[in-house]
Amino acid sequence: MSTAAVHSLWTTAAEPISKIPAPKIEYGQLSPTLIVVGAAVVGVLVEAFVPRKSRYYAQVFVSAVALCAAFAAVVALAADGYGTTKAHIAAMGAIAVDGPSLFLQGTILLAGLVGLFTFAERRLDPEAHGNRVDSFAAQAASVPGSDSEQAAVKAGFTTTEVFPLLLFAVAGMLVFPSANDLLTLFVALEVFSLPLYLLCALARRKRLMSQEAAVKYFLLGAFASAFTLFGIALLYGYAGSVSYATIAQVVDGTVTSVDPALADTMGNDALLLIGAAMVVMGLLFKVGAVPFHMWTPDVYQGAPTPVTGFMAAATKVAAFGALLRLLYVVLPGMRWDWRPVMWGVAIITMLGGAIVAITQTDIKRLLAYSSIAHAGFILAGVIATSKDGVSSVLFYLAAYSFVTIGAFAVVTLVRDAGGEATHLSKWAGLGRRSPLVAAVFAVFLLAFAGIPLTSGFAGKFAVFKAAAEGGAVPLVVIGVISSAIAAFFYIRVIVLMFFSEPRPEGPTVAVPSPLTMAAIGVGVAVTLVLGVAPQYFLNLASQAGVFVR
């Protein structure tokens, strides 16, 4: 049969529908994110179908495997050269696969894995009715102090939903620093924020405080999101696109085509300035920079400590990544506008965090203000606007996140009858009672204080060096002064632990399972290795220090 004969059997009704091209998605390059999202979905299914008794094990297994696999994928991509030579924009312009993305994704995944260890810890709280319990509420929906809560505790319920929530948050954080258009940025922001709001409310002890923290975080976070979204709308009006590259072109004045519908507003600097300010504001809220820091102490204090540790580390990494990309890729053309503002923000963040921390009496609040001061130090590196600036910030974030998770993991160990003993006065004489735990915490505090031979010093030196080379010498001087102020309150805790007499009714140090030990051990190891021999990681960070546009 000839082809003509076949054709005679039917007629062509219209051109085949091929005008809408299927989006080209590079699944391989997006695999870290996809693995984590997939595992999170599996986690939800586990919640639905696996019997209650084995849920915990199934969830921990799925989460750990997913995070490891995703990390392996990141390493594979980096080894393949996606961090350097093959860096490009994937997923139709939505996601940038480049050095900073991969470096930060790797950091977030490792922080997530270590965070997972602290989430899964079930030996610290005394057993309730013969069941091992973790740091999370038995049943989130039950009213605190009610009969239903007691029934839930008695029945041995545990909120194993925290694991898929953790994975969703990690997935959002993976996308956040690699988002290459404003909409992806916003979606990622919400994807990681909403699970965090929920996780904050799930503390087993002090539930009201935990719920209060969650509500505060949610309300303020919602405001910040709204600002971001409004800023995105204004930027769209300015550039006629949400793509980073296009906005950057419009800012630089090298745009090729003008959208006729937006011809009136395109290139209107008022839209650019207000829009950019609002988007940056949203990101500064997430990193906890002054004056957008008000949520930090309350949320850090109220949230379950494992969540606090994870959030303090990973959110900061993700948000600084996004901020770097926004400022370096989208807005380098207007750095003369944003640099003075960021100078101001960095200065008040460093000084504000350090000064207010002095008056704190709760260890978690103290660490919260310390994290604010650290956000200020990192901002000093961001302001450098150089390749060194990027790599120093990347290095600082990696160093800082492991110290943070480790420090909060130590906080979970020090307990009395009411759960964790977070009031500073209860830490008096801890060095006498458990020298090892106190020594480990002292190492973390010294790293926070930036004492040489710890990762904190290497990181601080890197950002200050970049800032000084970028011409921000006054910023370095203020940074050094606030380091001195900050050192005071870190030292105060050490004094309390080692030189004060133990209280007769003081807290005891719980013996954790290998999970928390691993989290703390990783923290100490990273702190010392990055402090003594940081060269390899500095190389990694500096190779990863180039954004793709």
Residue 384 carries which DSSP code?
A: T
Nearest-angstrom CA–CA distance, 356 and 354: 6
Min dist. Cβ of residue 322 to other proteins (A) = 25
Quick check: 253 and 239 in contact, CB under 8 A? no
Measured torsion, CA atoms of residues 120, 123, 127, 130, in degrees rounded to the nearest 10: 80
Considering the complex, state which of residue 17 and residue 436 has its C-beta at the smaller distance from other proteins. 436
226-242: burial string, b at 16+ Cβ within 10 Å, e else = ebbbbbbebbbbbbbbb
| Residue 473 found at the interface with other proteins (CB under 8 A) | yes
| Residue 480 found at the interface with other proteins (CB under 8 A) | yes
Quick check: 390 and 545 in contact, CB under 8 A? yes
Min dist. Cβ of residue 180 to other proteins (A) = 28
Nearest-angstrom CA–CA distance, 391 and 382: 10
| Residue 61 found at the interface with other proteins (CB under 8 A) | no
| Residue 545 found at the interface with other proteins (CB under 8 A) | no
Task: Using CB under 8 A, pick the residue from 41, 215, 245, 491 that binds other proteins.
Answer: 491
| Residue 501 found at the interface with other proteins (CB under 8 A) | yes
Residues 77-116 within binding reach of other proteins (CB under 8 A): none
Min dist. Cβ of residue 456 to other proteins (A) = 12
Min dist. Cβ of residue 499 to other proteins (A) = 4
| Residue 477 found at the interface with other proteins (CB under 8 A) | yes
| Residue 499 found at the interface with other proteins (CB under 8 A) | yes
**Residue 317: closest CA among 259, 394, 253:** 394
Nearest-angstrom CA–CA distance, 228 and 282: 5
**Residue 531: closest CA among 471, 470, 482, 459:** 459
Nearest-angstrom CA–CA distance, 417 and 430: 16
Task: Using CB under 8 A, pick the residue from 500, 503, 529, 549 that binds other proteins.
Answer: 500
| Residue 440 found at the interface with other proteins (CB under 8 A) | no
C-alpha distances in Å from residue 478, one per residue of 287, 377, 467: 20, 10, 12
| Residue 3 found at the interface with other proteins (CB under 8 A) | no
Min dist. Cβ of residue 141 to other proteins (A) = 43
Considering the complex, state which of residue 285 and residue 490 has its C-beta at the smaller distance from other proteins. 490
| Residue 446 found at the interface with other proteins (CB under 8 A) | yes
Task: Using CB under 8 A, pick the residue from 458, 515, 522, 526 that binds other proteins.
Answer: 458
| Residue 434 found at the interface with other proteins (CB under 8 A) | yes
| Residue 527 found at the interface with other proteins (CB under 8 A) | no
HEC string of 333-383? HHHHHHHHHHHHHHHHHHHHHHHHHHCCCEHHHHHHHHHHHHHHHHHHHHH
Q: Is 509 helix (H, G, I), strand (E, B) or coil?
A: strand
Interface with other proteins (CB under 8 A), residue total 40
Question: Can you read off the two tokens belonging to residue 456?
Answer: 């904190």
| Residue 451 found at the interface with other proteins (CB under 8 A) | yes
Considering the complex, state which of residue 293 and residue 374 has its C-beta at the smaller distance from other proteins. 374
| Residue 15 found at the interface with other proteins (CB under 8 A) | no
- HSE, side-chain direction, 13 A CA sphere, residue 377: 35
Binding site for other proteins (CB under 8 A): 391, 432-436, 446, 451-453, 457-458, 461-462, 464-465, 468-469, 473, 476-477, 480-481, 483-484, 487-488, 491-492, 495, 498-501, 533-535, 538-539, 542
